[in-house]
Amino acid sequence: MQAPLPPPQAAASPYQPPAAAMAKGNMYSFQKWLMIGMILLVFSAVFAQFPLSSSAPDITDYDVTDEKEADQYLDDMDSYEGQVALFGAFSSILQTGAIVMLGYAFFRESQEDANQHVAVRITMMLAGVVMVTGVVGRSFSLF
C-alpha cells in the first residue's frame, strides 16, 4: 500500500506578494515610505530649478526691427515658457506623489504601531490629514 500523496500546491497568484515576504514585513516599513517620499520631494525641487532664468532668450540678442528676427524671438520665448511649464508640471506631479506617500505612511503608522504614545499617534494622524488636505486643496476653487 502506498502512502497518500500530498494535495497539490495552489499556484501562486501573480497579483499577490509572496507569502514569505508578507511574513517578514518587507512590503511596508515606515522608514522606507518616508525615505521614498523625501527623495521624491528632493527630485521635485531639482526639476523645478531646471529652466534657469539665465537661459531665457534675451531681446538684445535679436534685431527686433527685422520681422524675421522678431518672429524668431517670439518663437524662442514661447519655447522657453513651454519648457518652464513642462518642468513645473513634472515637479508638481513628483511633489504630489511624495506628499501622498508621506501622508499614507503617517496614516498607516498611526494605525499599526500600538506601542507609541497616544499623542504621537494622534500627531501622525493629523500630519497625514494636513498632507492630504494640502494635495486636495491645490486644485480646489470656489470661483
What pLDDT, in 10s, does the model give residues 5-22?
A: 776 666 666 666 566 655
Q: What is the mean pLDDT of residues 26-40?
A: 78
CA 2 to CA 100: how far, in whole Å?
58
Total Cβ atoms within 10 A of residue 37: 20
What tens digit of pLDDT does each residue of 56-114 get? Answer: 888 888 888 888 988 999 999 999 999 999 888 888 888 888 888 888 888 887 777 67
**pLDDT score for 18:** 61
| Domain boundaries of the chain, sorted by first residue | 29-138
Is 15 within 8 Å of 72 (Cβ atoms)?
A: no
Listed residue (88, 86, 74, 81) closest to 55, CA to CA: 81
**pLDDT score for 12:** 62
Distances in Å between the alpha carbon of 16 and those of 12, 20, 26, 128? 8, 11, 14, 27
Torsion angle, CA of 117/98/38/29, rounded to 10 degrees? Answer: 50
Q: What is the pTM of this model?
A: 0.63
